[in-house]
Amino acid sequence: MNCRRARKLIDRGPYSALSDEEARCLEEHLLSCQRCRFYHDKARACLSAIEADARHIDCVAELSIDFGERFRQRLGDTKPRGVVSSQSPSQRLSALLISRNYRLEVFKRVVTTAGAIAVITLALANEFARPVDISDELVTLSRLPALSIRKSPNGRVYASVTLQSAALQPRRWEVLP
Amino acid sequence: MTADEQSLLDRARHGETDAFEELVRPHQDRLLKLALALSKNHEDAEDMLQDALVKAFGSLPCFRGECAFLTWLKRILLNVARNTFRRESRLRMRVKIFAQAGPATSGDPCERVTTEERRQFIRRALSALPSYYRDPLVMFHYQGLSYAEIAAVLEIPVGTVRSRLAKGRKLLELELEALGYPLNEADSVG
């Protein structure tokens, strides 16, 4: 048996019964290998420490005198989920409405909802309420570049392009022929 | 579950605290031992037990009777312990207390480590283990539960219980060594 196998058996030992053959091989190996013997002793020592602690707990495990009283107090504040209350529905509703936590919760919800509505309204207003440029000379289509061509009395031709920029200010360029 | 227990359970489900107290009274000692093994001191153990029992009372309608009542209570207690450990470890991370006050590191370890300190070492080493290794170890060594009983509480196969026990014991040993516990002298604990 090699050391690796021996250590596996040592780790497994307390929790799974080793076969006779495994136990014999391990014993032989432990006699011949000092390092594995040390490993084995440490494992045993760890188990002894736990068992000693467990024995100690068995001795001292006793509830304090006031445990029952404290427990009863805490139980009084608790109710199993889904238990039907002995109060009438109207009593329960009024108790719910006057409870501070409920009012706080309602307030929080109202404020949150109103805030959300305000933000959405502002966003929509900003999106759709852009000014539209309507001039005598130019026909402007909302958000689209508008091109207009006109002939002046002196016979020159003007082409105008009107754009609406993101800054909501119409721009106009005049192009000379 | 006997007829008496069933009637107590039904009454407790309707919010009768007296019935619940009577129902859990026979199990309190065993639960306290489990809590003691999972906590650092007696006060913490009682708090843990109380939290678990109050939680159990609140969740009584969820108990479907598919396992023994004690098994169900143990499961709740283990969950409470897990949450406590998680909270404590988070707190430790926050305040950076990694090296709690332990025995001095100078001098002969066999002389300076008292029996009570050794117990504290074991508590700390146990609390440092992941719950899936700690819980089977505590139930096997401290509660004396069989593999099948541990498997029922943790809802895992028996083979997994065995492997977690072996691995957990090994990790505990490493943890004790890291804390400076004199393993070569462990036989004198008690």
In chain B, what are the domains? 1-96 (1.10.1740.10), 99-190 (1.10.10.10)
A16, A70, A80: residue with CB nearest B50 = A70
How far is the C-alpha of B38 from the C-alpha of B57, rounded, in Å?
Answer: 21
* CA A111 from centroid of its chain's CA atoms: 23
For residue range B37-96, list pLDDT tens digits in order: 888 788 888 888 988 998 888 888 888 777 888 888 999 999 998 888 877 777 666 655
B127 pLDDT above the threshold of 80: yes
DSSP A166: T
C-alpha closest to that of B24 among B46, B47, B49: B49
More confident residue, B189 or A169: A169
* CA A57 from centroid of its chain's CA atoms: 39
B176 pLDDT above the threshold of 80: yes
Whether B119 sits inside 8 A of A15 (CB atoms) is no
- Nearest CA distance, B148 vs chain A (angstrom): 13
**How confident is the model over A39-64, as a mean pLDDT?**
85
List CB contacts (< 8 A) between B37 and chain A: 53-54, 57
pLDDT band of residue A58 (cuts 50, 70, 90) is: confident
- Nearest CA distance, A4 vs chain B (angstrom): 15
- Nearest CA distance, A163 vs chain B (angstrom): 58
A110 pLDDT above the threshold of 60: yes
Whether A49 sits inside 8 A of B170 (CB atoms) is no
On whether the CB atoms of residues B170 and B129 are closer than 8 A, the answer is no
Token duo for residue B181: 């516990």
Whether B46 sits inside 8 A of A67 (CB atoms) is yes
* Sequence spans of domains, chain A: 3-60, 132-177
pTM, entire model = 0.60
How many of the other CB atoms lie within 10 Å of CB of B30? 17
> Residues B75, A12, B123, B115: what is their CA dihedral angle, to the nearest 10 degrees?
140
How far is the C-alpha of B20 from the C-alpha of B59, rounded, in Å?
Answer: 12
Q: Which residue of B has its CA nearest to A65?
A: B46
pLDDT band of residue A138 (cuts 50, 70, 90) is: very low
The span from the first CA to the last CA of chain A, in angstroms, equals: 103
| pLDDT of the residue at A148 | 67
Residue A56 amino acid letter: H
How far is the C-alpha of B110 from the C-alpha of B92, rounded, in Å?
Answer: 29
How many of the other CB atoms lie within 10 Å of CB of B129? 20
A62 pLDDT above the threshold of 50: yes
The residue written with tokens 């799974």 in the block is: A16
Contacts A–B by Cβ distance under 8 A: 132
The residue written with tokens 């639960």 in the block is: B31
ipTM of the complex: 0.71
Whether A49 sits inside 8 A of B142 (CB atoms) is no
Mutate to test the interface with B, among A7, A8, A12, A15 (most CBs of B within 10 A): A15
For residue range B2-28, list pLDDT tens digits in order: 778 888 888 888 888 888 888 888 888
How far is the C-alpha of B123 from the C-alpha of A50, rounded, in Å?
Answer: 10
Residues of A within an 8 Å Cβ radius of B: 11-12, 14-16, 41-43, 45-58, 60-64, 67-68, 70-72, 74-76, 78-84
How many of the other CB atoms lie within 10 Å of CB of B48? 22
Whether B162 sits inside 8 A of A16 (CB atoms) is yes
| pLDDT of the residue at A84 | 52
DSSP one-letter string for B129-184: S-HHHHHHHIIIIIS---HHHHHHHHT--HHHHHHHHHHHHHHHHHHHHHHT--GG
Q: Who contacts A132 (Cβ-Cβ below 8 Å, separation ≥6)?
A: A140, A142, A164
How far is the C-alpha of B155 from the C-alpha of B150, rounded, in Å?
Answer: 8
- Nearest CA distance, A3 vs chain B (angstrom): 16
Whether B42 sits inside 8 A of A16 (CB atoms) is no
Whether A80 sits inside 8 A of B57 (CB atoms) is yes
A46, A51, A52: residue with CB nearest B183 = A46
Structural element, H or E, at residue A158: strand A157-164
Q: How distant, in Å, are the alpha carbons of A138, A147, A164, B178 from that of A134?
A: 7, 13, 11, 83
| pLDDT of the residue at A142 | 44
Q: Which residue of B has its CA nearest to A61?
A: B33
The span from the first CA to the last CA of chain B, in angstroms, equals: 37
Residue B123 amino acid letter: R
| pLDDT of the residue at B97 | 46
**How confident is the model over A159-172, as a mean pLDDT?**
55
A63, A74, A83: residue with CB nearest B54 = A74
pLDDT band of residue A173 (cuts 50, 70, 90) is: low
A47, A61, A80: residue with CB nearest B60 = A80
Whether A61 sits inside 8 A of B169 (CB atoms) is no
C-alpha closest to that of B54 among B77, B29, B81, B82: B77
B101 pLDDT above the threshold of 50: no
How far is the C-alpha of B168 from the C-alpha of A4, rounded, in Å?
Answer: 18
Q: What mean pLDDT, rounded, does chain A reach?
A: 74
Q: Which residue of B has its CA nearest to A70?
A: B50
